């Protein structure tokens, strides 16, 4: 369960998922303050995706998507000039219900969105994992990507959601899906579409109506 108020670190391309690790370089003064305060407290930071058009108000409080994922700082390095290198481990999804403007960085009032699949859902998730892995073969067979067989199903689904070559909005949509089983199925559909697009002859999409 997350605290009712957590700091927000909004970025334009990064979406964090539960159980997944994320390295970050922190250089803006307001977010250096955020990391300093987090390290002195519960070490929790909420990652959120900026909505399109954020450039016009980046120094202020541009709009973010309402669902994000909190992470725990597991490693940190403070550089001589005050910047930080940190590693977050995804903890839990959250929904934003408002913001507290008392700090230079953003603070959000949040509601925890825990994911605790039951036994039946876990069994179905394992079957969907097999389908997902088979769909991935054309995408990873000529790369250095290796999927450990002993990686838990939920860790696999979330890691692929975070690190596969997807658009930020596609990752955000996966994060917003309710439940790991539904996320696995949605991810499989995305992978299937990408595999089909790679196989399609050049120009085919332009001539099919």
pLDDT in tens, 35-92: 999 999 999 999 999 998 877 777 778 899 999 999 999 999 999 999 999 999 999 9
Handedness of CA 113, 119, 120, 125 (dihedral sign): positive
Q: Classify domain 119-199 at the CATH topology level.
A: Methane Monooxygenase Hydroxylase; Chain G, domain 1 (1.20.58)
Looking at domain 5-113, what is its CATH homologous superfamily?
A: LON domain-like (2.30.130.40)
Phi then psi dihedrals of residue 201, to 5 deg: -60, 145
pLDDT in tens, 128-186: 999 998 888 876 665 556 677 788 999 999 999 999 889 999 999 999 999 999 999 99
Contact 76, 84 (CB under 8 A): yes
pTM: 0.88
- Hey, what are 171's tokens? 């990752």
Would you kindly state where each structural domain of the chain is located, as residue ranges? 5-113, 119-199
Given 3-state DSSP classes, what are the helix, strand and coil percentages for the chain, each rounded to the nearest 5? Answer: 40, 30, 35
Rounded Cα distance between 65 and 172, Å, is 8
Q: What is the pLDDT of residue 145?
A: 60
């Amino acid at each position: 369960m997350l605290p009712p108020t957590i700091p927000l670190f909004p970025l334009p391309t990064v979406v964090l998922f539960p159980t997944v690790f994320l390295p970050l370089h922190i250089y803006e003064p307001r977010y250096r303050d955020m990391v300093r305060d987090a390290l002195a407290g519960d070490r929790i930071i909420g990652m959120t995706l900026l909505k399109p058009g954020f450039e016009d108000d980046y120094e202020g409080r541009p709009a973010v998507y309402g669902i994000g994922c909190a992470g725990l700082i597991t490693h940190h390095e403070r550089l001589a000039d005050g910047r930080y290198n940190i590693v977050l481990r995804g903890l839990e999804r959250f929904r934003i219900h408002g913001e507290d403007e008392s700090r230079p960085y953003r603070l959000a009032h949040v509601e925890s969105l825990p994911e605790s699949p039951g036994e039946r859902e876990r069994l179905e998730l394992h079957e969907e994992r097999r389908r997902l892995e088979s769909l991935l073969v054309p995408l990873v067979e000529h790369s250095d990507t290796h999927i450990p067989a002993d990686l838990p199903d939920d860790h696999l689904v979330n890691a692929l959601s975070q690190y596969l070559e997807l658009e930020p909005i596609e990752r955000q949509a996966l994060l917003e899906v309710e439940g790991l089983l539904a996320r696995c199925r949605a991810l499989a559909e995305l992978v299937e579409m990408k595999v089909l697009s790679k196989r399609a002859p050049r120009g085919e999409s332009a001539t099919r109506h």
